[in-house]
């Protein structure tokens, strides 16, 4: 039986499977380029809206595309790491991708520096990013102006008291452990705490920083002008934030099409570095050059970071699993090299993702164990499900064979665990995503229709938590879908934990 099925039985989801699952289809990988005349006309239009909005009227959202010119691969572009992995799994012969996540020698791109300049000029209200490379802060974005929904490789935090620490070097260079609880080797210095500190970057299956997400929601709803840069807008809930205020003027700048293009007033197909230089020229702003600074040597800056950097509530048990802290710390002390990600092919021909230590040269890389992402165990939206009602009207073979109710998609479908509708996933026509998004827009605080079950791998996803989820509550649904899919009962190992 497929490896992923055994892992779902034990309540965990294989990291490389999830990531390949989020790769784009071939037609979605196509990059488009507007000509200079079109770009100039649209830049003028956006600049006019920014000036009209006035001081602090601009909210910016950034994705991996703003860092590609720095030498950091994106994820879903034509050469993105998940794109390459998906191609390899399909049997295509492509160069095996590797991605060094963190490098203290990487300088910010023109886009990073332009956004910092927009902040200085008074136009920028807030920058919301799903990047964890730390380049926005290094470019000069103030701690009170940025919300990093996927963390920052220069920041570590205490999950028990909530204190965050900015470091001069990427914290991952100190190593990592074999469990989900990614430790940094240091302890919290808050009085009467002394807990083990953890990295802040967020992987699939881990919850987003709740404080940052809540503030991003508030900022998004109040935005006057919204600028989206370098993201394919595929991962919820971050991809939905730019459209919280329907009265805001929204501009998307990305080479690939996104699911939200029709909801954007201004759509530009252009590299972000080219676009942002034109925008700053139109606004009469000269982009500041990058000057490397060690913020940890600036007491005023560090005080501002400690006071204003928004991250998580504490204590937060949904962040990381800390059961193996001491064992992880012992392993951590043996690791003193940087960390990258690469794909390897085992003896059976299966392609897997592994972390590796970055030595002085690629020939010296030490292979390390792959790692898994665990679902959230305490999702309140799962607990709110009416399992009895759902089991009284279970999915049958006839509906299963028909596929998505909207488009008849046969393969990548999800079952809504509120209304029992069968709809296709975000890698097809996104009908389940649209279904859940509508529910979230109607009632963000107490949403229904957000927990669904995959008919591909029998995993469970919550759109409100933006996470894979698991609970003994879901065991009857798992068993029912397993019987439907494989025409046999699930192995009687244990309930889904």
- The size of the chain, in residues, is 497
DSSP count for the chain of H helices, then E strands:
16, 21
Burial of 350 (0-12, 13-18, 19+ CB in 10 A): exposed
Contact partners, residue 302, CB within 8 Å, separation at least 6? 166, 295, 296
Q: Which of 53, 241, 266, 27 is nearest to 149 (CA)?
A: 241
Closest CA to 270 of 31, 46, 60: 31
Q: Is 462 annotated as a binding residue?
A: no
Q: Mark whether 150 is an active-site residue.
A: yes
Is 452 annotated in some ligand binding site? no
List the structure tokens of 166.
């900015």
Taking residue 424's Cβ as centre, other Cβ atoms within 10 Å add up to: 25
The reply to whether omega before 237 is within 30° of 0 (cis) is yes
Contact (CB, 8 A) for 38 and 272: no
Q: Is 193 annotated as a binding residue?
A: yes
Tokens 């069968």 correspond to 422
CA distance 420 to 452: 9
Cα–Cα distance, 184 to 177 (Å, whole number): 9
Catalytic residue of the set 21, 136, 150, 381: 150
Per the annotation, binding residues are 158, 161, 188, 193
Per the annotation, binding residues for Zn(2+) are 158, 161, 188, 193
Question: What residues are labeled active site?
Answer: 150
């Amino acid at each position: 039986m497929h490896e992923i099925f055994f892992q779902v039985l034990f309540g965990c989801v294989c990291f490389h499977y999830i990531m390949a699952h989020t790769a784009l289809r071939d037609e979605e990988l196509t990059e488009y380029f507007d000509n200079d005349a079109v770009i100039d006309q649209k830049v003028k239009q956006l600049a006019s809206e920014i000036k009209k909005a006035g001081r602090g009227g601009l909210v910016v959202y950034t994705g991996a595309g703003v860092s590609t010119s720095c030498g950091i691969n994106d994820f879903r572009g034509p050469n993105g790491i998940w794109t390459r992995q998906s191609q390899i799994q399909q049997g295509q012969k492509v160069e095996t991708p590797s991605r060094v996540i963190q490098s203290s020698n990487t300088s910010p791109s023109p886009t990073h520096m332009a956004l910092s300049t927009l902040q200085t000029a008074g136009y920028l209200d807030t920058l919301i990013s799903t990047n964890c490379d730390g380049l926005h802060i290094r470019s000069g974005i103030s701690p009170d102006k940025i919300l990093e929904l996927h963390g920052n490789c220069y920041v570590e935090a205490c999950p028990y008291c909530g204190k965050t620490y900015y470091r001069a070097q990427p914290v991952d260079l100190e190593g990592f452990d074999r469990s989900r609880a990614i430790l940094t080797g240091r302890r919290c210095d808050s009085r009467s705490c002394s807990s083990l500190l953890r990295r802040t970057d967020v992987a699939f299956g881990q919850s987003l920083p709740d404080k940052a997400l809540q503030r991003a929601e508030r900022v998004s709803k109040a935005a006057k002008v919204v600028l989206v840069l370098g993201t394919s807008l595929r991962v919820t809930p971050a991809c939905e934030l730019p459209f919280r205020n329907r009265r805001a003027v929204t501009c998307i700048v990305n080479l690939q099409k996104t699911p939200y293009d029709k909801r954007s007033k201004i759509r530009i197909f252009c590299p972000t570095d080219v676009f942002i230089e034109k925008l700053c020229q139109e606004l009469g702003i000269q982009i500041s050059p990058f000057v490397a600074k060690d913020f940890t040597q600036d007491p005023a800056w560090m005080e501002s970071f400690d006071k204003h950097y928004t991250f998580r509530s504490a204590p937060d048990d949904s962040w990381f699993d800390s059961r193996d802290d001491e064992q992880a710390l012992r392993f951590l002390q043996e690791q003193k090299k940087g960390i990258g990600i690469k794909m390897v092919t085992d003896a059976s021909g299966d392609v897997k993702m592994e972390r590796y230590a970055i030595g002085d040269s690629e020939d010296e890389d030490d292979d390390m164990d792959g790692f898994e992402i665990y679902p959230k165990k305490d999702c309140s939206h799962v607990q709110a499900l009416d399992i009895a009602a759902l089991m009284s009207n279970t999915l049958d073979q006839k509906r299963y064979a028909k596929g998505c109710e909207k488009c008849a998609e046969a393969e990548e479908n999800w079952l809504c665990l509120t209304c029992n509708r069968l709809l296709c996933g975000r890698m097809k026509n996104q009908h389940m995503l649209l279904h859940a998004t509508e529910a979230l827009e109607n009632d963000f605080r107490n949403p229904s229709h957000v927990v669904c079950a995959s008919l591909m791998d029998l995993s469970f996803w919550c759109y409100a938590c933006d996470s894979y989820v698991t609970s003994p509550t879901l065991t009857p649904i798992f068993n029912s879908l397993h019987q439907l899919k494989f025409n046999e009962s699930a192995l009687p190992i244990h309930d889904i934990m």
